[in-house]
Amino acid sequence: MRQKAVFWDMDGTLVDSEPLHHAALEAALRELNIEPPADLQERAIGLAAAPLYEMLRIEKGLSLPFEEWILHKYGHYMPMVADLVPRPGALEIYGDLRVRGIHQAVVSNSDRLVVDANLRAVGLSHPGMRSISRNDVLNPKPAAEPFLRAAYLVGVDPTEAAAVEDSWTGATAGLAAGMRTIFWPERPMEGPPGAIVVNSAEELRHQLGF
């Protein structure tokens, strides 16, 4: 099945940034003398900054105001961006879709600062590049708004688009937007009901119709 548009999650889907985010998160917490939860990495995947902050505030006593916490965490993350690498196979598929004239956008729960830095680091900044960050919407994933905004920006009906995601949070958002949602987790697992699960770049390419 071919779509008129493909909308990509960024962290963990286009770029292998989850390990960097996790390392920055743990370092930021330990600098505040807070021991990170043992299951922090699993629980944080796909979460927007605000619900993750609330989880840490309630469970671990994080007391910094939200905006101060964000700056504190990014102080650890941004120096790592130079080490960022693409997820194997993802940028090749992105490039092939671009050559074919398929509309694309990056739809992320990360801040604009991080989205732009990550895309530059892996060579994905180009004229006409469209991206949606958490700062561009009122309701981030798992709400449908980020994907609906992407569809609006490229001028397609949401039902004519595919959403590619590595997290349940993101896949839930794609499904809520009425898009054909392809769940490409970093390790094999079941996806949300209604999502198409793939476990390799080759399977993803096939599901995108080429």
What is the tens place of the pLDDT at every residue in 3-52? 899 999 999 999 998 889 899 999 999 999 999 988 988 888 877 788 89
pLDDT for 49-85, tens place per residue?
A: 888 999 999 999 999 999 999 999 999 999 999 999 9
Give the mean pLDDT of the chain: 94
pTM beyond 0.85: yes
Residue 186's nearest CA partner among 21, 3, 34, 19 is 19
Query: CA-to-CA distance for 109 and 11, rounded, in angstroms?
Result: 9
Dihedral-angle region of residue 28 (phi above 0 means left; psi in -120 to 50 means alpha; beta otherwise) = alpha
Report percent pLDDT > 70 for the chain. Answer: 100
In which band, very low, low, confident or very high, does the pLDDT at 149 lie, cut at 50, 70 and 90?
Answer: very high
Per the CB < 8 A criterion, the answer to whether 5 and 151 are in contact is yes
Dihedral-angle region of residue 126 (phi above 0 means left; psi in -120 to 50 means alpha; beta otherwise) = beta
93 or 186: which carries more pLDDT confidence? Answer: 93
